[in-house]
Amino acid sequence: MHDVRALLDPANDAVRKLARRGYTLDVEAIEALQARRNAAIRTGDELRAESKRVAGEVGRSAKAGGDPAALEELKERARLLKEQVREAELEHDAAAQELRDLMLAVPNLPLDDLPDGGEDDAVELRRWGTPQDFDFEPLDHVDLGERTGIFDFARATKLSGPRFVVSKGLGARLERALAGFLLDLHTGENGYTEFSVPYLVQPTALVGTGQLPKFEEDLFKTGTGTRDLYLIPTAEVPLTNLHADEVLEPAQLPLAYTAWTPCFRSEAGSYGRDTRGLIRVHQFAKVELVRFCPAEESAAQLEELVGHAEKALQELGLAYRVVVLAAGDTGFSAQKTYDIEVWLPGQGKYREISSCSDFGTFQARRANIRTKDAGGKRTFVATLNGSGLPIGRTLAAVLEQGQRADGSIVLPEKLVPYAGFAAITPDGKPA
């Protein structure tokens, strides 16, 4: 969430920056609510001062034994003033809430170095690895998984409906192996601290990271009768909110956290897209990376973060490319995002496997996560997050890039110690 004064300061050029997203900032509405709130504050202060003065007169008059009629008139005046103070407080609270609701819907300001445009205007920065030139028609991960018996989409649909998957045998084993490999890499080489976090969170946590109130339709909500909880769409939510309403000491920063969790997304608005396979499902597992740092260091931290996600793909030998998203396609809370897209031979294209985002102080303001600057003044930290990596999409790439003409699937060398086998035979046996 933005500081209202900073958002309205012409020097920050918020109107132009948000227009690059396709968002029109309603400056007049913000200014009107701010004026209404400030007027209620002034009125309340004036009424409280007058109430205090009249209360003093009541006390002095009663002590002096003054005219009873005059005393009753003063008491009535004091009562009316208290009612007016309460009305001013209610008006302030209403204006402040309306202003907060409006501000919660304003996205982050995209950085000026982002390309213009939308979903089709991302700019490729680099590639790693060479997509295989198969001498046969490569299958996609669905056909590979069903042929070898490691995926069962039909029974998943019987259990939960479309966009779910059951992994079994070597498939379930590979998922566990990937999670172990990724967690060991990020904690052992990249300096992340591993957490095990709740999969259900309160609404305030989702407000903190920006999913609420704007994206409620993308979430799965559960009610117990006494309170509402949401299933996490990503471990970013609990990991970031671990420090909500806290002041982090400068010496602690940067902080680097990781967690392997299930993620739950309704994928509202995406029906008809990627309905086949593991690319867009309602439940999937992911190893998430979250970082906290001083605001002035966020650009450098983003480069480090995307490097950690790239390292995971490089260790697995999976060909990929890195793109920077255009301003109009950058996520609500982010000021800059790199997407890493892995090569999927079965589709003949690169597909997003990790988004690494710099949020600046946007999330920290919403979650009230602060630190101290060099002068000891409290200021908001910057937060960053990225996938490091999603298990399902990574497994899809492992299967598709590892397939061979004889129908077998060869695993990445680094994954073999975790899986306990080096390949899957055409009939679904470990080899």
Residues annotated in a binding site for L-serine:
234-236, 288, 387
Task: Give per-residue pLDDT as tens, 242-274.
Answer: 999 999 999 999 999 999 999 999 986 555 567
Final residue before a domain boundary, out of 81, 104, 127: 104
How is residue 401 annotated by DSSP? H
Token digits of residue 183: 């967690």
Angle (CA) 132 134 138, round 5°: 100
List Cβ neighbours of 52 (8 Å cut-off, separation of 6 or more): none
Task: Write down the mean pLDDT value for the chain.
Answer: 95
Clarify whether residues 375 and 306 are in a common domain. Answer: yes
Q: Is the pLDDT of residue 374 over 90?
A: no
Beta-strand relationship, 123-128 and 200-201 = unpaired
Tell whether the model's pLDDT for residue 284 goes beyond 90. Answer: yes
Residue 352 is among the residues annotated as catalytic for this protein: yes
- Total number of domains in the chain: 2
97-106 pLDDT per residue, tens: 999 999 999 9
Q: What is the CATH number of the domain that holds 303?
A: 3.30.930.10
CA-based nearest residue to 335, from 364, 313, 378, 369: 364
Which of these, 427, 428, 407, 411, lies nearest to 419 by C-alpha position? 411
Judge whether 19 lies within some domain. no
Residue 18 domain flag: no
296 dihedral zone (left: phi>0; alpha: psi -120 to 50; beta): alpha
Is 280 among the residues known to form the active site? yes
User: According to the model, what pLDDT value does residue 57 have?
Assistant: 87
Answer yes or no: are the C-beta atoms of 192 and 257 closer than 8 Å.
yes
Q: Kindly state whether residues 140 and 175 are assigned to the same domain.
A: yes
Active-site entry in 57, 91, 146, 352? 352
Rounded Cα distance, 124 and 75, in Å: 74
Q: How confident is the model at residue 337 (pLDDT cuts 50, 70, 90)?
A: very high
Do 91 and 148 fall into the same domain? no
- Identify the pLDDT of residue 272: 58
How far apart CA 417 and CA 181 sit, in angstroms, is 9
Residue 158 within a domain: yes
Instruction: Assess whether 42 and 128 both reside in one domain.
Output: no
**What SS3 class is residue 217?**
helix
Q: Which of 37, 51, 393, 400 is catalytic?
A: 393
Which one of the listed residues 36, 127, 280, 351 is annotated catalytic? 280
In a domain, 20, yes or no: no
CA distances from 47 to 50, 82, 83, 402 (A): 5, 8, 10, 75
Give the pLDDT score at 273.
65
Same domain membership, residue 96 and residue 223 = no
Which residues are annotated as part of the binding site for ATP? 265-267, 281, 352-355
Same domain (yes/no): 88, 184 = no
**Region 290-305: what's the mean pLDDT?**
98
Whether residue 217 sits in one domain with residue 80: no
Q: Are residues 154 and 96 in the same domain?
A: no
Identify whether 205 is part of a domain.
Answer: yes
Looking at 21, 37, 265, 366, which residue is catalytic? 265
Examine the domain organization and report whether 143 and 38 are in the same domain: no
pTM listed for this prediction: 0.93
Residue 260's H or E segment, with its range, is: strand 255-264
Using pLDDT thresholds of 50, 70 and 90, give the confidence band for residue 75: confident
Q: Which residues have C-beta within 8 Å of that of residue 387, sequence separation ≥ 6?
A: 286, 287, 288, 289, 309, 353, 354, 355, 356
Structural domain containing residue 59: 26-104
For residue 101, what are the CA distances in angstroms to 24, 89, 105, 419?
Answer: 16, 18, 7, 49
Could you say which of 355, 357, 365, 370 is catalytic? 355
On whether both 70 and 148 belong to a single domain, the answer is: no
- Residues 171 and 235 placed together within one structural domain of the fold: yes
Q: What is the per-residue pLDDT across 16-74, written as a single tens digit (0 to 9) for each? A: 999 999 999 999 999 999 999 999 999 999 999 999 998 888 888 888 877 888 888 88
* Cβ proximity of 260 and 234 under 8 Å: no
Active site residue 265: yes
Annotated binding site: 234-236, 265-267, 281, 288, 352-355, 387
- DSSP one-letter code for 333: T
Q: Are residues 372 and 336 in the same domain?
A: yes
Neighbours of 97 (CB within 10 A): 12
Q: What pLDDT, on a 0 to 100 scale, did the predictor assign at position 271?
A: 56
d(CA 117, CA 208): 27
Query: What does the pLDDT look like over 117-163, one tens digit per residue?
Result: 999 999 999 999 999 899 999 999 999 999 999 999 999 999 999 99
In a 10 Å sphere around its CB, with 0-12 CB exposed, 13-18 middle and 19+ buried, how is residue 416 labelled? middle
Determine, yes or no, domain membership for 430.
no
In this model, does residue 282 exceed pLDDT 70? yes
Residue 237 CA to its chain's centroid (Å):
6
